[in-house]
Amino acid sequence: MRSPSDTTVHEHDGSGDPSSHAQHGHDHTHDHGHDHGPVRLRISRRRLVWLIVGVVGVATLLIVRAVTGDGASLPGQAQDLLTLAISVIVESLPFVILGILLSIVVQAWLPNDLLQRYLPRNPVLRRFCISLFGIALPVCECGNVPLARGLVVQGFTVSESMTFLLAAPIINPVTIITTHAAFGFDDGILVARILGGLAIANIVGWVFSLHRKPHELLTPSFAAQCERGVEEHGSRMSRSIDIFVRETSVIMPALFIGALVAGAIQVAVPREVLVELGSNPLWSVLAMMLLAFVIAVCSSVDAFFILPFASTFLPGSIVTFLVFGPIIDIKMLAIMRTTFTTRTLVQLTVLVGLMSALIGLVVNVLA
């Protein structure tokens, strides 16, 4: 039996040959010569339980909000927690579903080597091209997680998938349009956000490409799924249903729990404390990182959320919020934990935090 490092999660550093990886990705297709007719849906009891937890949890929140909205109010902080958690779910859920559908397209409907066929052979250029995938995908950060998982399953390396995951929510067309609508080209906020997001994604991707055992960056269950690769049992439609159930059972519970935690912390931390720190060049940057982490607002609308703070906070701190938030927040950590180990997420958070702070400080000096 091959180890995961021998299969899907094989990495390429500067000396690697991406063409071999592309071939390697092609090898992930497991066609066992079975009849391509309908197959029985494969879902474990554990996965079924999590699917029920996620779907029922989200549905319960929406039902309770609908009931309390008609007059049966909850105690003050409980009502605030409910409202904040539901706002996160309402913003994220459409993009999560869209991301799962795109993941199905990648895994079940596109030729296995289509995306890799035209990518450069040089690893740096290859990651840079992958970081631009988001331009064609109007999906926020939550929806990119299932899509990034699909890329790894199809044969992309962990670092390449991570590069896509970090860049896509910042350079997707909806985010760029809303950021321009909020700030225009004032103080270079839009340009700094785009360039900063691309720089962070590519640098982080390069750092993780140096890892000798990339499969150890992934959770054991997802690494095992990657080892199985793209399975071509049954028709494309049956495989699509299988992938939809599998990804929904993974992502929905994480979204439900992440939204509740984000709502609880927002209730516990007074926003006024953060605003008081806004006029200091250093503390304003750190305060905005903390605010982005706690608020967990969707990247497609975060520019409008932070716009009222622009008169209080320095431009660099606004940029820090706009590059750090789409990558690292409470909700995203909960969702990314379905794919990466805790150790990987800690390293990722530190790297992204340091680079986001540096970008913010540079903008504060130049603006």
Q: What is the pLDDT of residues 161-194, one digit of tens each?
A: 999 999 998 998 888 888 888 888 888 899 999 9
* Residue 260 confidence (pLDDT): 79
pLDDT at 233 over 70: no
Three-state SS at 15: coil
Summarised one tens digit per residue, pLDDT across range 198-209 is: 999 999 999 999
* Residue 178 confidence (pLDDT): 83
Summarised one tens digit per residue, pLDDT across range 119-134 is: 898 999 999 999 998 8
SS3 content of the chain, % helix, strand, coil (to 5): 75, 0, 25
Split at pLDDT 50, 70, 90, the class of 277 is: low
* Residue 33 confidence (pLDDT): 40
* Residue 48 confidence (pLDDT): 76
* Residue 1 confidence (pLDDT): 36
pLDDT greater at residue 90 or residue 352 = 352
Split at pLDDT 50, 70, 90, the class of 23 is: very low
d(CA 174, CA 312): 26
pTM of the model: 0.72
* Residue 278 confidence (pLDDT): 65
Give the Å distances, CA to CA, from 167 to 146, 277, 325. 15, 28, 12
* Residue 271 confidence (pLDDT): 65
* Residue 345 confidence (pLDDT): 96
* Residue 18 confidence (pLDDT): 40
Summarised one tens digit per residue, pLDDT across range 282-336 is: 888 888 898 888 877 778 778 877 777 777 788 899 999 999 988 998 888 988 9
pLDDT greater at residue 142 or residue 316 = 316
pLDDT at 30 over 50: no
> Which residue in 41, 43, 50, 149 sits closest to 96, CA to CA?
149
pLDDT at 7 over 60: no
Burial of 220 (0-12, 13-18, 19+ CB in 10 A): exposed
Length of the chain in terms of residues written: 367
285: Cβ contacts below 8 Å, ≥ 6 apart = 314, 316, 317, 320, 357, 360, 361, 364
